[in-house]
Structure 1
Amino acid sequence: MRYRAGIVTGEMIGLPKSRFVAIGILEALGVATGMSAAAMLPGPAIPILSQTFLVWQLAFSALLLGRRYSFKQITGCMLVAFGVVVAVASGSSADQMLSGFEFIWPAVMIISSAFQAGASIIKEFIFVDAAKRLKGKSLDIFVVNSFGSGFQALFVLLLLPLLSNLKGIPFAQLPSYMKSGAGCLVNIGRNIPGCNGAPLLPLLYVTMNMAFNVSLLNLVKISSAVVASLAVMLSVPISIYVLSLPLPYLPEGASLSPFFLLGSMILILGLVLYNVARPVKQASN
């Protein structure tokens, strides 16, 4: 529709696909590892562990895009990392958020953030490079979103055998498992255990996820991947609190230890320090 309307041009569609393939692979790996870890971790720990995304982004941005950051920005980034450590690993065993959980699952969640951060930096590179290739024309965000998401879906399907083995599902049983999943998705009036809220909750997730991706990609286009991450991280305190509540369709609410709250405050302080340390011209943009 956007191509026929003249918004998307042939030059935009003709951009090198290898970069979109890389985005698809990284995001598929991020989804696979992130969902595997999220299923094993307490709700409030998930958003706090995901904030290592910023640390990965700064590293990849400097490595792949040649960006340079001030001492205050790097300090803010380190505070974010330190806040994560305090939140999930401090205090007595009774006070630790991850007490009773194997170390591998927080590590997998952090690795998941690395995959997602790498994909976001490649997206920023595509926008920067497209400005040169398109002779100053603005690349339509739906080109990046569509090709990136298309390859992500392809590689997620290719990863299904691996994901099924992680969950103890033999490859031969995967077709019947997917059939059961489809039945769960259209669960209307059946009240199948484990399918509560379908199909409205899955459709609500898809709708919100698409709106989130498009708005975030637009922010990457007009600023940078790191600035977009900072904007998203404003939701961290809210999401931590919400996920600690006994909400419908979610497990029992978790209690927030003083160390978890302290770690969250350190994390937010790091974000604020990074933001105020940005150059005046960049901040005004």
Structure 2
Amino acid sequence: MRWILFGCLFLSVFGMASILRADEKRPATKTEWASEVKKRLVENLAVAVGSGLTGTRHPELKLIVRRNGTIAKVTVIRSSGHKSIDEAALRMVKRTGRLPPFSRDMKGKQEELILSIEIDLGERPRPDTTSEGETVYQALGFRLKLPQPFEISQTRRSNDTEIYIDVRSRTNEPSSTEANGTICTIGFDARPSERDMTQSQLNADDVILKKITAAARRDPSLFGKVESTTVFDHDGVRGIATITTPSFFDRQLSERRQYQATMVRPRGTVTVSCWTTAKAMPHAIAMFQKIAEGTGLAKP
């Protein structure tokens, strides 16, 4: 009886939202619809957890959405590992109410939506110094200088050896495919797996080729399909840059492309991941490359 009552209450909330939003604007395309759905859901996410939880959690939900935007069903298909976070993700959907109605190019009666959520519970570190556009995180031995028109929107850490820096464009050029406006995320890990190798060894042709081959063989449903790969030189490091299509979990964003540059040093690995539309990517690559070239190791 309790479960039936909960189900009725759940559906009645969505039904009420449907009436209140009956006159809302219909998204023009499926890509626009998916972006608006993600934005609306994340805006309603609130996590109240104990202080003992740290790090980044990634619960994953499956939603069945009807043409008018009402949600027929929502389930947790991958747990975050903590019950309170999974419940917060479900409450997020309930608070959101009805989603946008389908765009005209969406022909089905309902849509299955897989939503992967990143919930960061770690500290947000402040840089040690910032001067002349360069930001230095001395404790990690990492520095960053962003080209115009990019700026840091937030930083986060899940442990003592990693940092993730979100970057946005003040002019929205190139256009972002993320609901929060993030155009790139820069990651630095001070624990590279090749710690015992010299830079010359890391730059060797056979090592680079091995990494390219491994990337090409990854499951495209999980990591996206590699469309192109280039090798570049920066500050004595040979880096690898790839352009990939969306993974299975982001298949509703079919027009999105990801640029990812990886540079491995004995003292740490830098990964620059940037997202924009397939149409904008050819012109955006040069800007993303400049962001990658603005990363480096801080002087001891």
**Superposition TM-score, scaled by structure 1 size:** 0.25
Higher strand share: 2
Higher relative contact order, chain-length normalized (CA < 8 Å, sep 6+)? 1
